[in-house]
Amino acid sequence: MTKNRITSEEALAFHLEPSPGKFEISATVPMTTQRDLSLAYSPGVAVPCEAIAETPETAYDYTNKGNLVAVISNGTAVLGLGNLGALASKPVMEGKAVLFKRFADVNSIDIELDTEDTEAFINACKLMGPTFGGINLEDIKAPECFIIEQRLKEEMDIPVFHDDQHGTAVICAAGLLNALHISGKKIEDVKIVLNGAGAAGIACLELLKAMGAKHDNCIMCDTKGVIYQGRTEGMNQWKSAHAANTKLRTLEDAMKDADVFLGVSVKGAVTPDMVASMADNPVIFAMANPDPEITPEEAHEVRMDAIVATGRSDYPNQVNNVLGFPYLFRGALDIHARAINDEMKIACAHALANLAREDVPDEVAVAYGKTLSFGRDYIIPTPFDPRLIHRIPPAVARAGMDTGVARRPIIDMDAYELNLKSRMDPTANILRGINARARANQARMVFAEGDDPRVLRAAVMYQRSGLGKALVVGRPDDVKAKLEATGMADAVRELEVVNAANTMHLDSYKDFLYGRLQRRGFDKKDIHRLAARDRHVFGALMLAHGHGDGLVTGATRKSAHVLERINHVFEANAEHGAAGFTALMHKGRIVFIADTLVHEWPDENDLANIAESGARVARHMGLEPRVAFVSFSTFGYPVSERAEKMHLAPTVLDARGVDFEYEGEMTVDVALNAAAQKSYPFSRLTGPANILVVPARHSASISVKLMQEMGGATVIGPILTGLDQSIQICSTNATANDILNMAILAACEVGK
């Protein structure tokens, strides 16, 4: 598998652009009129204040407390980097906050406390208790993390959860349940060896013992060897609680005939000989990051019967905390829980284990480029499984209600599950699926404008992300200088730079182009200038001759000019069915506007063709198409000859017998608003449209730019369709990330 390489420059740029940091705050209520302000603040705000003072529980009704988690750290154990301090831990805590939002729609704020004093840390958290529905402790060194969490759990009435401990433990437990199921073993019978007696390791053993593992069957090891009863060196109260009655003294001794190895320690801690000495069908969870205690390849060389999990995404069975903490908090918040207890964590583990045993949805297979099914290489669900959001929180919530920590039990669990399904942003899954398909295709992508730093950055990101090979059209010395200027000098050797001066194919390119254009007024001098000096034409010629799989261009010239140049090489015009679709993504919705690129003033037949092309694009991106022909009139009123073609276009599709929903003509609100659609019960649309076919290119351009500038929509496109080759045209104001997205679309052959 191609490794995903991330450079320091990319990581810094990601955190810097488009604005510093990883999230912002936005209002959920209108704030436009004086009345709005009066309701939001003074005098209206006094009413909920009085209500909460009288009945504190109503804070969950009138404020965001019920969906707000604090991610709190003092930076004493940041990732594997050590004690970097509170301020340097902020990027990690912001990252944790956006994971809460992305995976479980939990609002989260990061808080970095500049103290290593345990009591000061505890007091600060307690004082902030009224603000939050839960607290996620993060990157706090041991043993202080144990003391802080235990005290806060005892003294606060909201869930307090140290993810470095319990998040790892829950996912580990879920995977182990399935690994033992496959091995035909029971948790109460197996011998478990754990290496790494820190926060995560201790939490793993505590949870497994709560789930039935026997105390003396669990051998914990640290850098000094086995933690046994009577040992005094390097001990503390948390290690002592797991001291076993055993004569074993080293990790090597402990591994003999062990059924399970759990590693939260360091690279290379386990040798092949240790694995060879384990019992039949051993289970090895080598969870050290970034490099495991032993790699799956090394383990399988000596034991083909081993089931191996790691903390890495490039191996099967990734033990990933993002499978746990978002959904644990989602379930806890939704019952207004006072705590997250062992029963809730165990319920989470069982729910995850059960989910992995079920058939895997098609979208997961598409995202990962392979079919997944329960077995030795799939014992834990993938982080992008869309079922997680509506399967794990209900299990957590039920456990919380059964154990008495729920302030507000959920009465209708079916309705709750439906609500969870509706919370997540579907556009995230669409974009993830496209990325996965691009990675599977490994396309050779031609970046035609190698003299632009944005294009060069996009090309480097494309290749380093493992998406395929980047071919840059440009001059080697110019490319080298521009990469050095952008801090990416190390990428010079990675990119393949192609131009007319260093290709052996120029003569065949010119012959091909002359054959196409000789009867359009172009002589051989014109052909040489086009083929040798115009990068858009040169890039298209590379594609036409199979010297690339996709083409991205347009960042430096207007799209009309670029399309004209491409049309010299391919039939990229309205007469041959070309069209452009711009995707608008906003507040969890995706809508395509067409035609935004090719047709100046389409007639009803052109509009029908555009609709059919749009349906193909939508399906290629994982959507079931619903087309609306939009105008300023709805179903014939008001009457206007300008709207007539929009009225006729559906009848053209009627005659063609297409296999997707379409309707028109109609105004945009009727097309997109389910409530407005109810006024037209005869409409053939079963829900809001996701493809808007507009009367002309100027109206398409106005619509897109208005939504982008005023509505804050994310814009992808225009996506060029109707060609035999995969070509995408960027806008001149595109960022490097925008250009990369267009390359990904080209790699997926969206629109081809």
Q: Give the residue among 624, 568, 578, 635 at the shortest CA–CA distance from 602.
A: 578
Please report the sign of the dihedral spanned by the C-alpha atoms of residue 329, residue 332, residue 336, residue 337: negative
Which tokens go with 497? 């730079």
User: Is 153 designated active site?
Assistant: no
Q: Give the span between the Cα atoms of 194 and 569, in whole angstroms.
A: 63
Catalytic residue among 22, 65, 90, 96: 96
Question: Residue 488 carries which DSSP code?
Answer: -
3-state secondary structure of 626: strand
User: Is 637 designated active site?
Assistant: no
Relative to beta strand 691-693, strand 589-594 is: parallel
Q: Provide DSSP, 640-693.
A: -HHHHHHHHHHHHHHHHT-SSEEEEEE-HHHHH-HHHHTT-TT-S-SS--SEEE
Q: Give the span between the Cα atoms of 649 and 626, in whole angstroms.
A: 14
Q: Give 316-374 as a 3 state SS string.
A: CCECCHHHCHHHHHHHHHHCCECCCCHHHHHHHHHHHHHHHCCCCCHHHHHHHCCCCCC
CA 441 to chain centre: 19
Question: Residue 82 carries which DSSP code?
Answer: B
> Could you give the C-alpha distances from 156 to 161, 340, 712, 733, in angstroms and in order?
12, 12, 40, 51
Q: Provide DSSP, 275-327.
A: HHTSPSS-EEEE--SSS-SS-HHHHHHH-TT-EEEES-TTSSSB--GGGTHHH
Which tokens go with 116? 């290593």
Q: Give the span between the Cα atoms of 521 and 526, in whole angstroms.
A: 9
CA 329 to chain centre: 19
3-state secondary structure of 613: helix
3-state secondary structure of 223: coil
Residues 387, 413: contact at Cβ < 8 Å? no
Phi first, then psi: what are they for 663, rounded to 5°?
-165, 160
Question: Residue 483 carries which DSSP code?
Answer: H
Residues 389, 422: contact at Cβ < 8 Å? no
CA 344 to chain centre: 26
Q: Give the residue among 47, 48, 45, 44 at the shortest CA–CA distance from 60.
A: 48
Beta strands in 8-165 (DSSP E): 68-73, 107-112, 134-137, 160-162
Question: Residue 293 carries which DSSP code?
Answer: S
- 478: how many CB neighbours lie within 10 A of its CB? 14
Please report the sign of the dihedral spanned by the C-alpha atoms of residue 596, residue 599, residue 603, residue 606: negative
Which tokens go with 126? 């307690």
Number of helical (H) and strand (E) elements in the chain, helices listed first: 31, 21
Beta strands in 128-233 (DSSP E): 134-137, 160-162, 192-195, 218-222, 225-226
Q: Give the span between the Cα atoms of 298 and 290, in whole angstroms.
A: 16
DSSP bridge partners of 594: 581, 693
Phi first, then psi: what are they for 719, rounded to 5°?
-90, 115
DSSP bridge partners of 378: 375
Catalytic residues, which ones?
A: 41, 96
